[in-house]
Structure 1
């Protein structure tokens, strides 16, 4: 027998003094409620209620046991609150990072993880469009995305800039217009507005604007090292084996997103402050 459920039946009937009203309060029909009270009476070996045409009234035994039943139910409610609080304290902080962000700013995760330790931080590397959707549906707690982007149902932070330059394998001759190589970039579907702005900036810098879409950083760097593509990399961290192409500077603009109208969450705020500090340092 589910004791807590049957105690709830007992207390509700005692308060309503009517099986029909108690059944309505509990969101059930009257027959299973009556059967539940009878089962509890058999289990305890006492009669809890006297039934009459106008309702029910507690027996002396029922009146004596009612305070203890209420105390047990209050304890169950308190336990549920404690479980929710403890679960919130140990639940991981989920951070969505746009693919370009994960490639260019690895220190973001380290800073956020240190801010919420020992609570684990769980990263999710996706496109900006998906990151915004995940935040809006509360599948993640924070998101760092590429600007500009279509933002709906989120609270955006300030735009911060990561300087980037075009780079090519050291063995590839010529300048920006001479290698005739496409630029390795994440898929346009990740963030159409930012993708199109980047292509426009490349054309203004003398590149033909051709793009080769790649899945991740490993593919991007492999193609660049092989001399099959150009690649946009942080100006201050050009990978070994690549050389920058002067005059092709296309900044990456980033911003931190928080859920709009979300309840206060110390874990999220600590991780968000750490992420924002790292983004502020880029400017």
Structure 2
């Protein structure tokens, strides 16, 4: 068990005396928070809270342990802060697993130019897990997709990336110069995992249905194997891969919004955020959210007026 993480949860619940409010503050769901408090109680061999339908109260053991727990959490936070500012410091970052390798490499190289004394440690983590990792201090800063709900986190500049259709090079739809979402009727769709990108997952499916495309089946994953095999289509930025075709969507109805996110702002974190904005614009085809083309609802080509 990660004792420090569980003590952090205990401190927040003790301060709120309400599991729902504590869960919102921590950026996690209430059931996992309750389970982790129970796990901590089992580990310590004491009951920390008296729970009833109307209120949550600290037990005598909980009151005795609260001050010590706060001190432990504060010391660990201080240790992380000292490490961030020291020579040879490491900045732990989270990036989506489906972000292009070339973009990640450019992020690392660009940051190294501005702060050579700090080493980047990238980890491929979906947005939902990044929120937890940022709250726990497992990572320092991340590149996340929106929409997300994450009280307590701070976000950098919002960027938007228009999405086209990725499909096998010999797919019949690849003969078209551009596609309408309704043209994908009958096609299976590959999306990032719902558990990892719940906001994006829901938003994309709503937009598909609104434009007349209900996927025959939704697959979840980061790789494009199913697309290359002709078993599914996917949405994404223009990508050049052997056997893969990319076609723009009429009206640009599908777009992804990205930003950096962090809990504690340090010089390294704000420096990384600036590098990330520049790199995502130059290497991933993203634009300022306000500068993105306005989505328009368009008729399917050939449809009756």
> In terms of mean alpha carbon deviation, does 169-178 or 157-166 score higher?
169-178
CA contact (8 A) 1:101 1:145 kept: no
CA contact (8 A) 2:84 2:91 kept: no
Say whether residues 1:182 and 2:185 are aligned partners. Answer: no
Structure 2 residues not aligned, in runs of 5+: 1-78, 174-178, 288-305
Q: Which residue of 1 aligns with 2:269?
A: 268
Supply the distance in 2 between the matched residues of 1:253 and 1:242 (Cα, whole angstroms): 24
Scaled by the length of structure 1, the TM-score of the pair is 0.59
Which of 221, 224, 229 is equivalent to 2:227?
A: 224
Q: Which residue of 1 aligns with 2:67?
A: none
Residues 226/243 of structure 1: CA separation in 2 closer, same or farther (3 Å cut): same
Q: Which residue of 1 aligns with 2:220?
A: 213
Say whether residues 1:254 and 2:255 are aligned partners. Answer: no
Supply the distance in 2 between the matched residues of 1:123 and 1:158 (Cα, whole angstroms): 20
Query: What displacement does 1:179 show?
Result: 7.1
Supply the distance in 2 between the matched residues of 1:275 and 1:172 (Cα, whole angstroms): 35
Supply the distance in 1 between the matched residues of 2:114 and 2:187 (Cα, whole angstroms): 42
Q: Which residue of 2 aligns with 1:55?
A: none
Supply the distance in 2 between the matched residues of 1:132 and 1:205 (Cα, whole angstroms): 31
Supply the distance in 2 between the matched residues of 1:113 and 1:189 (Cα, whole angstroms): 33
Supply the distance in 1 between the matched residues of 2:139 and 2:83 (Cα, whole angstroms): 19
Supply the distance in 2 between the matched residues of 1:269 and 1:105 (Cα, whole angstroms): 19
Q: In terms of Rg, which structure is larger?
A: 1
CA contact (8 A) 2:165 2:235 kept: yes
Q: Which residue of 1 aligns with 2:241?
A: 239
CA contact (8 A) 1:104 1:234 kept: no
Matched positions, count: 193
Supply the distance in 2 between the matched residues of 1:86 and 1:208 (Cα, whole angstroms): 47
Supply the distance in 2 between the matched residues of 1:211 and 1:103 (Cα, whole angstroms): 25
Scaled by the length of structure 2, the TM-score of the pair is 0.56
